[in-house]
A and B are shown apart, each in its own frame.
Chain A
C-alpha cells in the first residue's frame, strides 16, 4: 500500500479539475490576484502577455524564476508557466520551481525545430498546443496530459481559435464514423500512433482534456469556444489589454460557465469598456504567425 506520486492519472486529473474554467495569463503577482478574484481556475505566469511578445519581437524565453515564484506565493489556485518548444532544460527549471503545469508553448520562440520535449521524463504535467487531431495525438504520445487548441495568440481575433477547435472536433467525429479496418490508414494520415487513434475512435473524444486558446477577448468569444466543444478556455492578452481587466476577467468566467445561456452572456457583457484592440489575424504575415510553430 505505497503511494505513487505524479502518475498519469494525477497529471491528467489536474486538468480534469480545471474544466469549465478560465486560465488567465498574468505577468505580476497583482495580476494573479485580480485573476483569482475574478474566478480564474488557474493562472499562466509569464513575463509578457502574447500581444506584447508580438510587439516586442526578438526571442521570447521562459520567464524569470523569481517572477514565477512571486506569482506562486500570491495565489492558491494552480500556477502554470511556459517553456519553449523543445527546451527541456527550461522545463527542468520550471519543474524544480514546483509549478503545477508546464505549457510547452508556441508563444515563445522554439528552441528545437525537430523535437518537442519528451514529457514522459517529467513529474510535472504538460499542456501543449495543437491545430488538429494529428498534432494533438502526437503531443499526447510525447506525454502531454492536457491539450489546448492554439488559435493565434496575442491577436484578440477569435478566427484561428475557431478554425482549430472546429478542425479538431470534426477530425474526432470523422474518426468515430470509421470502420475499425480503416483506422490503420487514418493513423498514417494523421501522423499519430495507432493506439491513440483507436482510443479516440472508441471513445469519441481526446484521451485528455482540451481547452481553447489564442484570441479570446470578450465573454461571447469564450462561450463560442465552449459551444464548439472546448472544455475550458485560456485567455492571454484579452484580460489585461482590456480597458477594465477585473470586470472583463469576471465576465469571461461567467460566460464560460453559462456558455449555453445567451441571456446570462448578454447580462455579463454589459458595460465592460473597450476590449483589447487586437489585430486581425489575416493581416499577420506567415513568418510572424505563432500557430505554425510546432508540428
Chain B
C-alpha cells in the first residue's frame, strides 16, 4: 500500500519520513500520473497560494477530486487544510472543496506569532499531541457532518474530519507525531482492500504465503 504526498512544494520529505517510520511507503505526487496506485493522499504544509497555482498548472485538480470522491483518505496539514476547505474566508476560490468548513488563513498573524502547544486529541488516545503552528490557519465554521478532533484552550477548532477527509492546522510531521499518519494508513488500507481487516475474508493458515 502506498500513500501519496502532494509534492508541489513545502514539507514533503517530512511526511514521507513519518510514513516510513510507520512502515508505509510515501510517494511524491507532482503530476497526475503519480497518483496511480496510491491509496491515500497527504497535502503538506507550504504556501497555499503557491500550491493553488501549481495544482492548476499541472492539471491535478480533477484527478485529486476523483481520488477523494472514491473514498481514499486525504490528510491536509496547515496549507493542506486550506486547500481542502470548501470556503476560505476573504473569498478566495476553494482548491479542492472537500470539507464543509470555512478556513481563515494566517489566523494567528505573521511568523512572530507561530507557536507550540500540547493539545488533547481524544481520538488518538490520552497522550496529548505536541502541536507546532506555523503561520497557521484555523477553522472558523464547522459544517454539519464535520467532526471536531481538537481545539485550542480558547476553543478555536484546529483539527477536523469529515468521512475520509482530515484536516489539521498544525504539523505532526515536524514533531515526531505518527498517530495521524497511522489513522490515515488504516483508512488507506481499508480503501485499498475493503474489509480486509474486518474479518470478512477467509483466514489464511499460519505460515502460508500471501
Contact = CB atoms under 8 A, between A and B. Distances in A.
14 contacts: A1-B118, A3-B116, A4-B116, A9-B132, A10-B111, A16-B14, A18-B9, A20-B10, A36-B49, A41-B46, A41-B47, A98-B109, A123-B112, A253-B50
Given A14-B135, A20-B12, 4 more contacts: A13-B114, A14-B111, A20-B46, A78-B111
A19 B54 contact: no
Given A1-B118, A1-B153, A6 B112 contact: yes
B191 interface: no
Nearest to A5: B115
A14 B118 CA distance: 19
B91 to A, nearest CB: 13
Contacts, number: 126
Q: Classify chain A: how many residues form its interface, as a range.
A: 35 or more
A181 B74 CA distance: 46
Contact of B135 (A6, A78, A95): A78
Interface of B: 7-14, 30, 45-47, 49-50, 53-54, 57, 78-79, 105-106, 109-119, 128, 132-135, 153, 171, 174-175
A186 interface: no
Q: Which 8 A-B pairs have the closest CB atoms?
A: A10-B114, A20-B9, A100-B111, A21-B9, A3-B117, A3-B115, A5-B115, A39-B53
Contacts of A21: 9-10, 46-47, 50
A133 interface: no
A266 to B, nearest CB: 15
A227 B83 CA distance: 29
A82 B45 CA distance: 25
Nearest to A37: B53
Given A14-B111, A17-B134, A98-B110, A41 B50 contact: yes
Contacts of B49: 36, 76-77
Contacts of A3: 115-117
B111 A124 contact: yes
A123 B114 CA distance: 10
A159 B79 CA distance: 35
A248 interface: no
Contacts of B116: 3-4, 7, 9-10
A254 interface: yes
A20 to B, nearest CB: 4
A5 B46 contact: no
Contacts of A101: 111
Contacts of A7: 114-116, 132
B112 A124 contact: yes
A99 B113 CA distance: 11
